[in-house]
Amino acid sequence: MVSRAEHRRDVLSKLSDAAIELFESGGPSTTIDAIAEKAGVSRRTVFRYVDSKEDLAYIQPVLWLDVFEAGLEAVKTEPALVERLRLASLDIAHYIDADPERPRRAFMVAGLNPELQRGFAGIFQRWVDRVAAEVLADSDPEDSNNRFRSRIIGSAVMGTVDAVSREWIFSPPTVTFTELYEKGFEFLRPMLVDD
């Protein structure tokens, strides 16, 4: 029996594949109805998972949030915040490297079509919120400085992922997302370590 989470991932993957293929051939004028038909789902199902057509260009990062959650669960006994974030993020990098064509195509389509880029704001904010929650859980959540710090760190982590993604898209296929993420994380590490 397929779990609810597996069904969700399957539908999101189908939507992503259909959207990217249609955006590649028809650009941002591609309709929600065409994407739903190609994915084999109803228009109503599409809107169960996304708020707009532009969001369909960023389904891959939505799927990575599940990988990140599982990664955090796997390393929850790791006492150092910086290592928990690094290891959970590396799970995403390995996930991307296992099937690099899907995210590479999605990033290319979104990057080449400014009309689709507004979908990035929503997913970026979801990621910042999740990383900030992990940072805040590691400190006193009532302290306004800690809340502010958690938002700054969440934004910095996601900025690093965005920069790595952009570098990776235009790198030779022999360059893995994992090696670029490791390099990017080393630039970020000093900010994550308490003084």
Here the tokens at position 92 are: 């995403």
Instruction: Give the integer Cα–Cα distance in Å for 143 and 122.
Output: 27
Q: What is the mean pLDDT of the chain?
A: 91
d(CA 90, CA 181): 8
- Closest by CA position to 89, among listed 172, 38, 78: 78
pLDDT band at 5 (very low <50, low <70, confident <90, very high): confident
Tens digit of pLDDT for each residue in 26-70? Answer: 988 999 999 999 999 999 999 999 999 999 999 998 899 999 999
pLDDT tens for each residue of 112-154: 888 888 888 888 899 999 999 999 988 887 888 888 989 999 9
All structural domains of the chain, each given as residue ranges with its CATH number in brackets, are 54-192 (1.10.357.10)
Nearest Cα residue to 67 out of 101, 90, 42: 90
Q: What is the DSSP letter of 113?
A: -
